[in-house]
């Protein structure tokens, strides 16, 4: 089982939104970055995911989701009316993928980016490094454990 972190803007889709979905699950579509896509493709059912709120007050990890379906073609790329439409992605050879995630838990408090930046054991993590914009990134077991220890 592997660990990941996924970013989302809570104004668009928050952890509470996931919790309120039927079955508490939702397809994670709209990823349009190759590195993030490759991470999606590596996900296995049962993988644990830190749910991160960006462009929020404050920004940080708010809880946990899990992967319930491995990567499959991102249908929003085929839909001209979707904000995620990508004419370069063809049904015969989909460029983008999505996974399904399910709500697991909400932390008793937000672990803020500010706090994470102060932890020496997390200094190598892409999340806390300047200019990092990757929306789906791997978390090592050690990093996962460190973050959970902050609660």
Residues that bind DNA (CB under 7 A): 7, 9, 32-35, 54-56, 59, 88, 113-114, 129-135
CB 7 within 8 A of CB 135: yes
Q: Could you tell me the smallest distance in angstroms from the CB atom of residue 137 to DNA? A: 9
Q: Could you tell me the smallest distance in angstroms from the CB atom of residue 29 to DNA? A: 12
Tell me whether residue 76 or residue 135 sits nearer to DNA (CB atom): 135
- Residue 94: C-alpha distances to residues 41, 68, 77, 91, 97 (Å): 13, 21, 8, 5, 7
Q: How many Å apart are CA 31 and CA 65, to the nearest integer?
A: 17
Per-position DSSP letters for 55-78, written without gaps between them: SSSS-EEEEEEEEEEEEEE-GGGG
Q: Could you tell me the smallest distance in angstroms from the CB atom of residue 22 to DNA? A: 26
Q: Give the pair of three-digit tokens for residue 38.
A: 């490759």
Tell me whether residue 7 or residue 25 sits nearer to DNA (CB atom): 7
Tell me whether residue 56 or residue 75 sits nearer to DNA (CB atom): 56
Tell me whether residue 24 or residue 134 sits nearer to DNA (CB atom): 134
Q: Could you tell me the smallest distance in angstroms from the CB atom of residue 130 to DNA? A: 5
């Amino acid at each position: 089982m592997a660990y990941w972190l996924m970013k989302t803007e809570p104004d668009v889709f928050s952890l509470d939104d996931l919790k309120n979905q039927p079955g508490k699950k939702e397809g994670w579509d709209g990823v349009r970055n190759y590195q993030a896509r490759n991470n999606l493709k590596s996900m296995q059912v049962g993988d644990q995911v830190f749910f991160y709120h960006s462009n929020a007050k404050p920004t940080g990890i708010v809880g946990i989701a899990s992967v319930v379906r491995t990567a499959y073609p991102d249908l929003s790329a085929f839909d001209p009316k979707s904000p995620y439409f990508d004419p370069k992605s063809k049904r015969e050879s989909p460029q983008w993928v999505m996974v399904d995630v399910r709500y697991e838990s909400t932390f008793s408090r937000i672990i803020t980016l500010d706090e994470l930046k102060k932890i020496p054991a997390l200094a190598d993590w892409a999340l806390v490094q300047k200019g990092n914009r990757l929306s789906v990134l791997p978390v090592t077991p050690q990093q996962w454990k460190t973050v959970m220890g902050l609660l």
